[in-house]
Structure 1
């Protein structure tokens, strides 16, 4: 398994980790201290903001699980990959996304997230 795939696996793991202390350890290991995360709904900078973003998403989708949605593509210091967010027991993902991550010394410096499938508002 390549470093890129291992890093993305840990990235996905951080989005699934509900224990605040374990999640924070993952975040500090995966991201550079002043890393940024940007998607259509949020812009976060730094470990605290990224942690708060993950906690907020978990609060919006309790019990849902993030999974890698295919292969990790990487070149130079850039990664891209699809992910799925699935409800417990569901066959189809509720949300499908695509992230591009820029690395610095093997850690994530910036994530640009795109949402390919989102649930309809009730």
Structure 2
């Protein structure tokens, strides 16, 4: 199995990449071709749909950066990890989440995301 921490780091890096073509290249390295991403707000299947999802999140949170929280836990062909999204240098992240990923041949074939902290809309 691929080193889970390295794969999770590359996954987070793909969410931070703002250039759509470079991001698509990263997504193709990290995900299988027909991978799916699901969280409480969206379901996306395939590299193009996941790329569009990342772009939409970046537009909702301009200037924010994703980062890993703690260790990546993995067994068999699965891994789980926590992440946060916030402004660089901010005291508190705006969003905190938890993802579980199913792996296939060293890449992600499915992500199930959970949101632990989300901004309150006024």
Unaligned 5+ residue runs, structure 1? Answer: none
Correspondence 1:50 to 2:37? no
Question: What are structure 2's unaligned runs of at least 5 residues?
Answer: none
Give 1:89 deviation, angstroms. Answer: 3.0
* Shift >4 Å, 4+ stretches: none
1:13 counterpart residue number: 13
Q: How many Å apart are 1:58 and its aligned residue?
A: 0.2
Residue 29 of structure 1: aligned partner: 29
| 1:106 shift after superposition | 0.5
Distance 1:25 1:115 in 2: 26
Tell me which moved more, 88-97 or 35-44. Answer: 88-97
Tell me whether 1:96 sits opposite 2:96 in the alignment.
yes
Q: 2: CA distance between counterparts of 1:80 and 1:89? A: 26
Alpha-carbon shift at residue 88 of structure 1 (Å): 3.2
| Equivalent residue number for residue 83 of structure 1 | 83
SS of the residue corresponding to residue 69 of structure 1 reads strand
The normalised TM-score by structure 2 is: 0.97
Residue deviations 1:62-120, cap 9 Å, x none?
00000001100000000000000012331111100000000000000000000000000
